[in-house]
Structure 1
Amino acid sequence: MKRIFLLFTFLLSFAQMRADEGMWLMMLVKRLNGKDLQKQGLRLTAEEIYSVNNSSLKDAIVQFNGGCTAEVVSKEGLLFTNHHCGYDAIAALSTPEKNYLKDGFFAMNNKEELPAKNLYVRFLVRMDDVTARINGKLNPQMSADERKAVIDAEYKAIQKENSENGKYTVVVRDFFSGNEFYYFVYQDYKDVRLVGTPTESIGKYGGDTDNWEWPRHTGDFSVFRIYGDANGNPAEYSLNNVPLKPKYHLPVSMKGVKPGDFTMIMGYPGRTNRYLTSYGINQLVTKDYIGWVDASKSAMDVMKKYMDKDTQIRLDYASQYASVANYWKNRAGTIESVNKNGTVADKQKVEAKFQEWANLAENKATYGNVLSEIEAYYKLIADRNLERNYATQFQRNAKYAVLPYRIGAALKSYIEQNEAGKAAMKARLLAGVEASYDGFHPVVEKDMLQTLLSLYKNKVPFDYQLPVMKYSNPAELANQADASIFSTKESLLKFIENPSLAILENDPLYKFSGIMVAEAMMFGDKYVKADDQFAKNTRLYFDGLRKSMPEKEFYPDANSTMRVTFGKVDRLPIRKDRQYYGVKDNFYTDMKGMVAKYKKGDAEFDLPQRLLDLYKKKDFGPYKDKKGYMPVNFLSDNDITGGNSGSPILNGNGELIGLAFDGNSEALSGDIVFEKQWQKTINLDVRFLLWVMDKYHGAGYLLNEMTIRK
């Protein structure tokens, strides 16, 4: 801990910095070279940001269900995150009769809070650097398999040393393309309950049309609460559990924001690839993302066809559709941004400098051929990757393609047991079936199977198609689903009561699914040596980049570990093709613009009458800006990516001023390059969040347990 404190003291004591690019690990702030965050507006000490022994900001930040971020905002374990992060849990709790997703919901006391199925939050306890330990056991002469064996052994040892007999989850990750290693100690809480969510027309206002766009007018938030046992320890759901007393909770500021204000975002960004070569970027935008976008759009079309006809189907597929749609627009926008912003050419300039350094006599043997070998690798795998992207979307969206393989392995084991073995295994098997078929609709899945298999056959080069997919008839396979034991939950449960190995092994979906998985593994084996050499060249390229540019500050790519990013409230240039609804200073949006977008009955831009009435009366309470408008969203120049959804955006005092929820279309290439001029974070203003809770949904009592600073 002392070492961490000294690093932060160095950071905060010496410096001249412009806050913007970089998602920084707490222990890597030394690489900021003492940038002067205090001059930018930070008013916190090192211990207030990160501490192992005392409460700090990091104790209020949680990873939310593995894919988002949330923050603790009260002494009673209250959590804020995005509406789209809670979407799956909210949809699962909804029924056509009690449609919380559409109508919204707020508990008026603890007893009304709804236990969310399969939802957990993860607190970071501590982290440490094990680079020297692991690299000390590696050498350049090792084969890829030997290197992996050493690393895996060290990972297991480090996990065992720090888990305290299972009390903590320990994760070891490599950074900087496998050149450095750090471990993270986490504590997971599984009793998480829905406290409230705005009506969908507020929480998802603008839908797919406004997604990744500015200006936005979206109340993208939901509210949960963490529960533990009487001693504050993690526990499975129980009526005896009590709200968690957190080590720290974020105070909330109602002061508002203005351009230039210091901002800090802490969270769990998912994945970036900022050091990708020009060859890799070209592969993404000409092959990989083309397949992703094409297959995603086809999957969305299938889902929407049935969601528009049936409320239950809409609820059951809402989360899957939203996730696919989000990445579909992101990938399509990335292709456009890379081409428009000249990203490949910028990377080529960096590579030219690297190659000049690599050609020096003292470097040539190790680094001279790295880039040429990377270029050759991408030429080799170009169509292999295209196939993988179509196949991945097929497997992710067509449940009939993967469920038979996943459940079939357990079924085969079950059939081969004696009666005692079957009895011991049955409850687990039945629970797995229930979970797998939750929200499953055969009519949707048959169509999805046929549509995506047809697309694969039509778009993947013939020589790269898996044989089982190449020679399958999509319509015939979809029709065979009706006779499969995997057709419905009921047919599978019936089979479990009277199982037969012969029936299982001759089931058309089981055979297709199993062959597909086996062929995919064999297909991948063809490229093992090339993939291993590419991994080595990637490590060498990054190692060489750092050595060739000692003046540059290198930060690690995001990989779902806690990061902090610094910035300021910022503007985007006014665009002639956009409407701003009276806002002249383009860093915020307000309710005037929200109401101006209103289209009665429209799936994306409808608004509830109650909100319209409150707006008409200008009933904004204490939440309006000092200039009189009711704020909704605002911009900052913080560097974030997927996984940061729900992250708190904080002012220089560490007070919550909003929730990060999106990026902007001008910089959708942000995962592979930081576009300094264009890259912005779109945030929900916390004042609008509180207004919706209090004035619209009547849950103002929740504010009493929060620390609100006016």
Structure 2
Amino acid sequence: MRPFCIAGILLSALSTALADEGMWLFNNPPVRQVKEKYGFDITPEWLEHLQKSSVRFGNGGSGSFASANGLILTNHHVGSGMIEKLSTPERDLLEEGFYAKTAGEELKCPDLELNVLISIEDVTERVNAAVDPQASPEDASKQRRITIAGIEKESDEKSGLRSDVVTLYQGGAYHLYRYHRYTDVRLVFAPDVKAAAFGGDPDNFEFPRFCLDYCFFRAYENDEPAKTPDFLKWNPAGAKEGELIFTSGHPGRTNRSVTLAQLENMRDDAFPYRLEQIFRGEATMRAWSDRDLENARRAKGSITGIQNGRKALAARLNGLLDPAFMARKAESEKAMHEAFSQKDEWKKAAAAFSKIRKTKDSSKELESRLRMFEGGDAFGTQLFGIARALLRAGDQRVMEDKMRLPEFQEKERVSLELDLFSDEPVYKNFEVVKMTNALTFLCVKLGATDPLVKKILAGKSPADRATELVMGTGLEDVALRKKLYEGGKDAVAQAQDPMIGLARLVDDEALRLRQEGEAAAEVIEQAHQSIAKARFALQGDSTYPDATFSLRISYGTVKGYEDEGVTIPAQTTFGGMQKRHDGQGKVAPFDFSSEWEARSSSLDSDAPLNFVSTNDITGGNSGSPVVNQRGELIGLVFDTNAPGLVSDFAYTDVKGRCVSVHPAGIIESLKKIYQADRVIAELSL
């Protein structure tokens, strides 16, 4: 067979970018694709400005600078965790909303880190050269980890920037990302949750939508608003239907280039496991929340998050249960395997598929225990996470930096201490409920007679053991955490805290499982490297890698869609929101706050509120700015619709849509409902 014929088979089998598909790297943007389809030139200057205007939220989300003085726009649901932490029993900022009328009223977040991407460097050759091809998976994983740690430390010391080596193309490439880090972040404005999450769980992942899912923070340096010359100017007119637009954000994870065996593992094991855990957690927290108004306030954010996860995961599982989709994946993989087998230099890639399947099949029991003990699913409380962090910090800090676990290396110290010393409130009665549920789940999945499970329960029921551990620990006290952390290994060893005792009890097994898991992951990563080399030989790196919570750009157009014969317009309005409110009997989650009710008559009913587009996004893109060809902000990503949830595995623009808040809707509410004049003035509107 001639080489071009092999290429023809492969190019038809490989997942190449179609339509407006792609979460593209900023150092490999879709310049050609956009130029050919839309006639627009993505220039280096345009791209750099967008890059440095984009913000990554450490708690999982995106945002953008909205002024030269560190003002940041993101979603209310991205900021809701911080808003909840800043609330008190006397002042529920989720329910009431928040507006700092002066700089002095801006509220400092207890543990929020923001990152802005400054530069990217390809370090693939350096990483791969350090791994001995003949090494065992365990040794190869260690060699790769040590090399990456060295690269990150060297960059951190030279540049003073947060430096992360990001794995791309499932191990086909490694890029060093350098970020400017902000750890002093303050809340400026948030609407009330009834407006931000109008429609609640029933409307989640649906369209039409009517949500004002936005809020504002500010980055500070040296106790002063940060100077941010790269920021996005707003265009209240937004974009017209059919207009080319872009998103810039940090999509968390996709699985478009994984193998059939990996998808089958998700379908048959990982996703059902996680859904079972979610359903149990949601029911438990809901029951506790319904018992008391203060319980409801404390659990609100957790319940909203778990509902969102449940709905998204169920949709993704439904996609994997589609026989037609899995058949297409199998056919594509078969074609790739046959094509790779035609050339000697690609035969290693051909063998990679069976290697991945064998590894996944042999790792099922490992993965179950790994989730429980190293992943922490067995414990369910932030207090256990604190105990483990203190225990391991003491053990790890006596090691050479490159030999430590990545999360305890020097470059992560700022982030570690920000989390560990957070003064967010710890509600012990809620922690008991969550830990009881987790320990019960542990017994269900591994069996109450499992030797380690028996040691964890110590002869007690899950409820009694959780109560003993949570009520007996003192780790809710930040001063105690600092004392133990600063005292190091000896101080932690002498502590008589029961939660630290639990962390110590399971740590040897957890670390052993982690090492085995990393060895299995190394086998899969090396297999994907072989596949990637064969793909690069044909395509170069003209395709985009799976999402990795690193900055990406996507493009698309404002566009409605057809659903069961009904035309769904691309845009909604305040008038539509009022109609939805009235049509649902004005009851939760379709009700308004008293402030909204008092002032809503002043709203322009025709002002746009939400809109949809064909941009390729996934979880982590929440809060991403949407910009036009002039680089002006014309939207704020906050969701996808239900048909778009399969984007984890494949892009579709038939019905799948990115859902965004329109800037006109934000401005209308700021002016007429919340009267946030200071924010309006800073936006120069």
Q: Quickly say closer, same or farther: Cα 1:404–1:300, change in 2 above 3 A.
A: same
Show the counterpart of 1:587.
570
Count of residue pairs brought into register by the alignment:
643
Matches for 1:4-153 after TM superposition, within 5 Å? 20-29=20-29, 32=30, 34-37=32-35, 40=38, 42=40, 45-50=43-48, 56-138=49-131, 140-145=133-138, 147-148=140-141, 150-153=143-146
Distance 2:388 2:230 in 1: 45
Distance 1:358 1:542 in 2: 11
Indicate conservation of the 8 Å contact 1:267/1:648, yes or no: yes
Say which SS state the counterpart of residue 34 (structure 1) adopts.
helix
Show the counterpart of 2:562.
573
Say which SS state the counterpart of residue 165 (structure 2) adopts.
strand
Deviation digits for residues 641-700 of structure 1, max 9, x if unmatched? Answer: 222110101112111111001112123221222234333211111111111111110013
Matches for 1:278-289 after TM superposition, within 5 Å? 278-289=260-271
Indicate conservation of the 8 Å contact 1:442/1:487, yes or no: no
> Among 592, 596, 603, which residue is 1:619 paired with?
603
C-alpha displacement of 1:123? 1.6
Indicate conservation of the 8 Å contact 1:267/1:562, yes or no: yes
Report the AA paired with residue 84 of structure 1.
Answer: H
> Among 295, 320, 324, which residue is 1:342 paired with?
324
1:209 aligns with 2:202: yes
Matches for 1:368-407 after TM superposition, within 5 Å? 368-389=350-371, 392=375, 394-395=377-378, 397-399=380-382, 401-407=384-390
Show the counterpart of 2:434.
448
Distance 2:135 2:556 in 1: 42
Report the AA paired with residue 106 of structure 1.
Answer: Y
Indicate conservation of the 8 Å contact 1:42/1:653, yes or no: no
Distance 1:159 1:661 in 2: 32
C-alpha displacement of 1:348? 0.8
Report the AA paired with residue 176 of structure 2.
Answer: Y
Report the AA paired with residue 280 of structure 1.
Answer: Q
Q: Quickly say closer, same or farther: Cα 1:412–1:224, change in 2 above 3 A.
A: closer
Q: Quickly say closer, same or farther: Cα 1:94–1:484, change in 2 above 3 A.
A: closer
Q: Which runs of 5+ in 1 are unaligned?
A: 1-16, 51-55, 229-234, 414-427
Indicate conservation of the 8 Å contact 1:95/1:312, yes or no: no
Indicate conservation of the 8 Å contact 2:203/2:209, yes or no: yes
Show the counterpart of 2:349.
367
Deviation digits for residues 341-387 of structure 1, max 9, x if unmatched? Answer: 73322211211111112322524752342222222222222344345
Say which SS state the counterpart of residue 184 (structure 1) adopts.
strand
Say which SS state the counterpart of residue 171 (structure 2) adopts.
coil
Q: Quickly say closer, same or farther: Cα 1:362–1:454, change in 2 above 3 A.
A: same
Q: Quickly say closer, same or farther: Cα 1:517–1:402, change in 2 above 3 A.
A: farther
Distance 1:382 1:61 in 2: 39
Indicate conservation of the 8 Å contact 1:218/1:632, yes or no: yes
Q: Quickly say closer, same or farther: Cα 1:139–1:28, change in 2 above 3 A.
A: farther
Indicate conservation of the 8 Å contact 1:191/1:227, yes or no: yes
C-alpha displacement of 1:127? 1.5
Q: Which runs of 5+ in 2 are unaligned?
A: 1-16, 397-413
1:634 aligns with 2:611: yes
C-alpha displacement of 1:152? 4.2
Higher mean C-alpha displacement, 635-644 vs 167-176: 167-176
Report the AA paired with residue 505 of structure 2.
Answer: I
Indicate conservation of the 8 Å contact 1:291/1:390, yes or no: no
Matches for 1:227-266 after TM superposition, within 5 Å? 227-228=220-221, 235=222, 238=223, 241=224, 243-266=225-248
Matches for 1:161-560 after TM superposition, within 5 Å? 161-163=154-156, 165=158, 167-228=160-221, 235=222, 238=223, 241=224, 243-340=225-322, 342-360=324-342, 362-363=344-345, 365-389=347-371, 392=375, 394-395=377-378, 397-399=380-382, 401-407=384-390, 435=421, 438-460=424-446, 467-468=452-453, 472=457, 476-484=461-469, 487=472, 489=474, 509-524=499-514, 530-547=520-537, 550=539, 553-560=542-549
> Among 632, 637, 642, which residue is 1:665 paired with?
642
Distance 1:377 1:461 in 2: 25
Report the AA paired with residue 32 of structure 2.
Answer: G
C-alpha displacement of 1:561? 1.5
Q: Quickly say closer, same or farther: Cα 1:526–1:93, change in 2 above 3 A.
A: closer
Q: Quickly say closer, same or farther: Cα 1:202–1:468, change in 2 above 3 A.
A: same
Report the AA paired with residue 619 of structure 1.
Answer: L
Distance 1:224 1:492 in 2: 27
Distance 1:48 1:339 in 2: 42
C-alpha displacement of 1:62? 1.1
Give the root-mean-square deviation of aligned CA atoms. 3.7
Indicate conservation of the 8 Å contact 2:644/2:658, yes or no: no
C-alpha displacement of 1:339? 2.1
Distance 2:460 2:370 in 1: 22
Q: Quickly say closer, same or farther: Cα 1:120–1:433, change in 2 above 3 A.
A: closer
Indicate conservation of the 8 Å contact 1:451/1:474, yes or no: no
Indicate conservation of the 8 Å contact 2:112/2:418, yes or no: no
C-alpha displacement of 1:525? 5.0
Distance 1:260 1:57 in 2: 22
Distance 2:662 2:157 in 1: 40
Distance 1:340 1:512 in 2: 42
Report the AA paired with residue 532 of structure 1.
Answer: E
C-alpha displacement of 1:262? 0.6
Report the AA paired with residue 25 of structure 1.
Answer: L
* Percentage of pairs with the same residue: 24
C-alpha displacement of 1:142? 4.1
Distance 1:452 1:369 in 2: 40
Show the counterpart of 1:13.
none
Show the counterpart of 1:155.
148
Report the AA paired with residue 287 of structure 1.
Answer: D
Q: Quickly say closer, same or farther: Cα 1:205–1:638, change in 2 above 3 A.
A: same
Indicate conservation of the 8 Å contact 1:287/1:386, yes or no: no
Distance 2:442 2:320 in 1: 26
Say which SS state the counterpart of residue 573 (structure 1) adopts.
strand
C-alpha displacement of 1:137? 4.6
C-alpha displacement of 1:33? 7.2
Indicate conservation of the 8 Å contact 2:440/2:462, yes or no: no
C-alpha displacement of 1:293? 1.0
Distance 2:144 2:393 in 1: 31
Report the AA paired with residue 579 of structure 2.
Answer: A
Report the AA paired with residue 452 of structure 1.
Answer: A
C-alpha displacement of 1:88? 1.4
> Among 600, 604, 611, which residue is 2:589 paired with?
604
Q: Quickly say closer, same or farther: Cα 1:192–1:674, change in 2 above 3 A.
A: same
Q: Quickly say closer, same or farther: Cα 1:596–1:164, change in 2 above 3 A.
A: same
Q: Quickly say closer, same or farther: Cα 1:66–1:92, change in 2 above 3 A.
A: closer
* TM-score between both structures, scaled by the size of structure 1: 0.81
Higher mean C-alpha displacement, 335-344 vs 385-394: 385-394
Indicate conservation of the 8 Å contact 2:316/2:646, yes or no: yes
Show the counterpart of 2:407.
none
Q: Quickly say closer, same or farther: Cα 1:640–1:98, change in 2 above 3 A.
A: same
Distance 1:283 1:573 in 2: 33
Show the counterpart of 2:8.
none
Report the AA paired with residue 576 of structure 2.
Answer: G
Report the AA paired with residue 592 of structure 2.
Answer: L
Indicate conservation of the 8 Å contact 1:287/1:383, yes or no: no
